[in-house]
Structures are given as structure tokens and as C-alpha cells.
Chain A
Amino acid sequence: MLNTVWLVPALPLAGFLLLVLFGRRLAEPKAGWLAATMCGLSFFVTLLVFLDMVSKTAEERSHVVRVFSWIPVGSLQVDLAFLADQLSITMALFITGIGTLIHLYAVGYMHGDPKFSKFFIYLNLFVFSMLMLVLGENLLVTFLGWEGVGTCSYFLISFWHTRDSAATAGKKAFVTNRVGDWGFMMAMFLAFGAVGTLSYGTINSAAHGGSISHVTATAIALMLFVGACGKSAQLPLYLWLPDAMEGPTPVSALIHAATMVTAGVFLMTRMNPVIAEAYHWAPTIIAVVGAATALFAATVAVAQNDIKKVLAYSTVSQLGYMFLAVGSGAYVAAIFHMITHAFFKALLFLGSGSVIHGMHHEQDMRKMGALRVLMPVTGFTFIIGWLAIAGVPPFAGFWSKDEILLYVYANNRGLYVVGLVTALLTAFYMTRQVIMVFFGEAKWKDQSEEHGAHGDFVPHESPKIMLLPLVVLAMLSVGGGLLQLPFTKDLHFLEKWLEPIVEHGEAHINGSWAYDNKYILMLVAIAVALSGIALAVGVYGKKKLPAIEPQILANAWNYDRGVSAFMGGPGRQSFEAVAWADAHVIDGAVLGTGSVVRRSSGFIRKIQSGYVRVYAAAIVIGVLAMLAWFMWRGVA
């Protein structure tokens, strides 16, 4: 069964090709059903592969399926091969599973859109690329998927391309990702230079065996982290993610919550032996950047009024948590949080999409309110998502966040405090969002004229096709914590499952104070979450406390503006200087060579004077030279 793992990316690819050829003919909604079916079949195959893996022993679970030799050039031998092991199948499961749910949702959400089938073309292509990314056996196949998801992200963000802001957002996402991709490429070059291959198995065993020097391992780890910063929207390169909310909500849910942005975390986990071989300050940098991002994004989310922007910054913040975990050596916790985050963030995004759909594409939260009565299912599932992300037990988010905080406390107390403050803010802004949207006064009653003026505007519940994924994701958000309960070792399912992958990089905290007193830390986390909720209720619900939403937070600490100013000013000047150098220096050298040749040939051709006697003289000179040379050879 493991040999059929190549079907997993092949099915969405087939869906993509079929839709390219027949999509317009199939039209709505069959194109959507086709895409969803392909994704669903892929999930089914992944599930079968997973069950087959479960039945094997831990050593047998890793399996390589080689499709063909892709780049056989001298010492660089790269195969198009898939590595089906615990980590990749776990990722593939939730990518295809949540992907299928989102496909179904999109059939309902994109109803009436003129480019309906094109949307599903891109969605299937995206799922294919993401699966190539996680199932790749070597860095180059992963990079193929990496670039593929970046491209699809660009297509999907700028899907409504007639809107200037959407087109710009797509470009911004692509360009920012490219900057990160440079890091990935440098890491690939370094890895190839150090080990001679790009295959994960060889690189990781070389790292563990000590064949990679500390310097090289550090360089590789940090370069990969640069790539991860781009793809997973960490602090210097996060700016594309909030703008990416211009895309349709299913896009935001799939790409920017559940799958693409987790690619960076996946990559770091995949290469954890290399990170373990790096100098100690390298994972610390990763952890610090992650923590800073988490805090930064959480502060900004407090002041956002667009329902999707809150969730966007929330995603950046949660991704910061995952990198904080990676930097603290808690790879299992990072993957755990990735999975639970996929569940509840997709749920929240789809829920917000449902709200937007019901509010006739109104996205400003200040114009919503008291929607839970009119949109009961959406409201109920959104509330479950809210409790999950806020970190309230027994919902999924609590268990994964707690696991991360446990490892962080054992590693670095300062970062633990940052994580705790961020948890407080997370609970705060999410509660704020829930109150503004679903509770409070119905502010949409004043807006009836703006929405087509068909009498009284009343928000309505979404169709069942959109509600079904919400319900499924809500159930997963409730039960997702069961993957790794901290009470006894026997309940550490995820840890045992992933152990062979992360054994070399995972931090071991069994003897530390944190581990022995994990219940105290758990209670602290619960207390923080509840106080965040209480604060928000006080400010926005009961209106007892003043709302503090300074403009600087709404502008994301003016970071975006700073980057634009730099790029517009000194950045542009340096680019233009480089372009000038290219046109004049490099092109000049090339063209100069040509003109030199031309001029010298013009000079030399005058030797052909046309006079026979001159030619005879030339022959004699040549003969003389030859004779002299032969004589000199004879004498010597």
C-alpha cells in the first residue's frame, strides 16, 4: 500500500488537468464537485497509506517511492521520489482532509462567480503542490512544491484581479515569498556542497553522524529559516499575509491557515537533525523570532476591524508559536499545534466566510453584531473555534498551546513570559471578535440601504454545503486534543508516532522542573486564557472598561509603511544602480568585445591588397619562419 503514495499528489494533479481541459464545459457546480472528489480520493488514499503504516513497526514505517530520475547531472542525482513516513503522511492527512472540506465549502461560497471553474483549477493545483512539498523525498521536490504553492497563492489571492488591491496583494505575496525562497535555495546549495545530495535521508543521517560541520549546519538551518520566514509569515517577511485576505475566504482558510503557511514549520521539522547540529544560538534565534512575531501580531490583531484581518494576524501569531516551539526543540509540540491550528483556524476562517456571505460581503466587524440568532450554526461553530484558539480546555488548542509553553518554560523563562502574554492577547482579541460579530447590538440594521436596497436587509444563514465543513471542523477542534494528552506517557500518541523523525532534535525535558510541575503550568495557562476572555467581555461586552485600540496597532506598528518607504526610496535607487551596471558594465563588456573584434578585423583585412607579389612575399615569409623553426628544433 505504501507504494501507492504517488497517487496522493497525482489525484489532485489529474483534477487540475481535467479542469483545465473541461472546466469551462463542466461549469458550476460540477467543476467544483470534480475538484472536491479528486481531493477526497486523495484523502482516502492517504488514509489507506496511513492505516498501512500504523500496522507496521516503527522501523518499517518510512518508505521511499521513486518515480523517475529527475536530474541526473554528474554528481547531482535528484530523483522525483516520495518519502512516505510518519511526518509526511500526517501532514498529507490533514492537507487532503481539510482540503476536501474546503473544496466542498467553496462550491457553496463561490456560487455565482463567473470564474467558478478557474477557482477550482487553482485549488487543485495548490493541493497538488502542497502534497509534493510534504511528500518530497529530497529538498528539490519540496522546493518544487514550495514554489508551486507560492504560485498558486499568487493566483488565488489575486483571483478577483479586477480589484487593484487584490492584484497588488497577489504580487506582494509572491515577491515577499521570493525573498524567502532565496534562503531556501542557499540552504539547498549548502546542503549539496556539504553532503553531495539533496535527499533528506542522507542529509539527516549525515548531520546526526557528525559529517556536517557545526558552521555548515548553522548556515543551512538559518537559511532554511529565512525561507520559512517568507512562507510562514514570520517577522521580517510577514507583510504579505494580512494583505492576502483580498482573496476569497476559502483561499484564506486553505492556504493561509491550514496548509501553505505551515510549510515552513514542516521544513524545519523535517531537517531537525541539521538544526540539532547547529550552534546553540541558532535555534534560539528561531525561537526569539517566533516569539516576537507572536507578540507583535497579537498586539496588532487587537486593533483590527476587518473580520478576516483579525484572523490573518492571529495566524501570524500562532505561526510564531510554532516557530517558538521549533526553536525550543519541541518539534512534536509544533506539529501538534500545527494540526490543531489547522482545525480551528480553518474553522474560524470558514465561519467568517459564512458571516461575510450572510452579510452580503460586508467584512467590517463594526457593522455586524448579534448574528448568532440569525446564523445559529455558524455562530455555534465559530464559538467552538474561539474557545479552541483561546486555549480553553478541553478544546484542542489548549492542549497544543500548553505543550508548547511547557517546553518553552524548560528552555527559556523569558520567552515563556512572552508566550504567556501572547496567549492573553489571543484570548482577548478573539473574544473581542466574537462579541463584535455575534453578540451585542445589531449594527447592520442601519446599513440596509448599502446592500442592494431590497427592502430590509437581514443577514441569513449559509447553505448547508457551507455549514457541513464547519460542523466537521468544529468536531475536530473539540476532539483534536486527544492526539497528545499530557497526563500519562501512554496518551502521547503523536509523540510516539513522530518519534523516529524527531528523535535527534527533540528536546528532552523529562527531568526538568517544568515537566514535574506541568500541572501548575497548565493551571497558569487556563488562568491566563480566562482572564483574557474576561477582559474582553469587560471592554466590549459589558462596556465597563475603555477600549484601547491605538492607531499604531491598527497600522501594524507602521512596519508596512516603513518597508514601502525603504523600497520606494533607497531600495529603488540601489536597484536602479544595479540595473544600470548590468546595462553598461556587463552588456558594455559583451558589446565592447564585439566592436573590438569588428574594428580589428577591419584593420586586418587591408592585408589582402590584391597584389599577387605581396601574396608571394607573404608565402615566403611563412616558409622562412617554418624553416627557421625546423632548423632550431634540429639544433636543439
Chain B
Amino acid sequence: MLATIVPTSTWYLILGAVLFGIGMVGVLIRRNPLIMFMSIELMLNAVNLTFVALSTQLTDINGQTAVFFVLVVAAAEVVVGLGIIVAIMRRRSEISVDDLSVLKG
């Protein structure tokens, strides 16, 4: 009986939404910049999952093409972001984004 239940694209979409939410919590709560970055990667993956699910649902290849490009841009973003983190956090003992609060109003 269970075998007759087929996961529809809606299930994938909901999973993607939950994954996105978890990633968002990670960005807001964690203070280590590397962990924050990884949370952002989670969010990007959630988006990729959504794209593919919709591509299947709407039988349009453009969704998968979009994922391809998202992947490339995510890679570039990680490169630059990690470079910045390394440049800033190199000489500190305790890394936390809360230390970067000089530009306050």
C-alpha cells in the first residue's frame, strides 16, 4: 500500500522550503563566519532542489539550466567570500562576526 504513494513534486518543494528555513536560522544564529557561509550554501541547495522539482513538474529544461548557473555562481561566491574571511580573520584568536561592528550609526 505504501508503495503506491509516489512523492509528488510538492513534497520536494516542501522539503526545499524546510531546508531553506534551517539555513536561514543558521545564518542568523551562528557567529562563526565559516558556519554562516555553510548555512548560505544550504539555502542555495534548497533553491536548487526547488528548481529541479519545478523543472520536472513543468517539464521545462530551463529549470535545470538555472541550477547549473547557480552552481557556478555559488562556487565563485564561495571563493571570494572565503578569501575575505581569511583576510579579515587571519590574525584573530577568536573568530566571530560580532567583532566586525565598527561601522555603527
Contact = CB atoms under 8 A, between A and B. Distances in A.
B97 A613 contact: yes
A608 to B, nearest CB: 3
Nearest to A604: B105
B102 interface: yes
Contact of B102 (A607, A610, A616): A610
A610 B27 CA distance: 16
Contacts of B4: none
A617 interface: yes
Nearest to A620: B24
B31 A610 contact: no
Contact of B98 (A605, A608, A613, A616): A613
Given A620-B24, A620-B28, A607 B105 contact: yes
A612 interface: yes
A273 to B, nearest CB: 69
B103 A610 contact: yes
A609 B28 contact: no
Contacts of A608: 103-105
Interface size bracket, B side? 10 to 19
Interface in A584-636: 605-613, 616-617, 620
B97 A612 contact: yes
B8 interface: no
A609 B24 contact: no
A230 B11 CA distance: 91
B28 A613 contact: yes
A616 B27 contact: yes
Contacts of A606: 105
B100 interface: yes
Interface in A340-396: none
B104 to A, nearest CB: 3
A69 B86 CA distance: 73
Interface in B59-105: 97-98, 100-105
Nearest to A609: B104
Contact of A612 (B24, B100, B105): B100
Nearest to B25: A620
Contact of B28 (A605, A607, A617): A617
A611 B28 contact: no
B23 to A, nearest CB: 11
A399 to B, nearest CB: 88
A607 B31 CA distance: 20
A609 B27 contact: no
A67 to B, nearest CB: 60
B24 A611 contact: no
Nearest to A608: B105
Contacts of B104: 608-610
A620 B31 CA distance: 17
Contacts of B29: 613
Interface string A440-471: 00000000000000000000000000000000
A605 B97 contact: no
Contacts of B97: 611-613
B18 to A, nearest CB: 16
Contacts of A617: 28
Contact of A613 (B31, B102, B103, B105): B31
A26 B104 CA distance: 73
The CB with the most chain B CB atoms within 10 A, among A608, A610, A611, A612, is that of A612
A623 to B, nearest CB: 9
Interface in A84-138: none
A611 B105 contact: no
A620 B104 CA distance: 20
Contacts of B98: 611-613
A613 B103 CA distance: 13
A611 B104 CA distance: 8
Interface string B43-65: 00000000000000000000000
B101 A610 contact: yes
Nearest to A611: B101
A300 to B, nearest CB: 75
Nearest to A613: B28
Contacts of B102: 610
A609 B101 CA distance: 7
A605 B103 CA distance: 12
Nearest to B105: A608
B98 to A, nearest CB: 6
B67 to A, nearest CB: 21
A51 B31 CA distance: 101
7 contacts: A608-B103, A609-B101, A610-B103, A610-B104, A612-B97, A612-B100, A616-B28
Given A605-B105, A610-B105, A613-B31, 4 more contacts: A607-B105, A611-B97, A611-B98, A613-B97
Those 3 A-B pairs whose CB atoms lie nearest each other, nearest first = A610-B101, A610-B104, A608-B105
Interface of A: 605-613, 616-617, 620
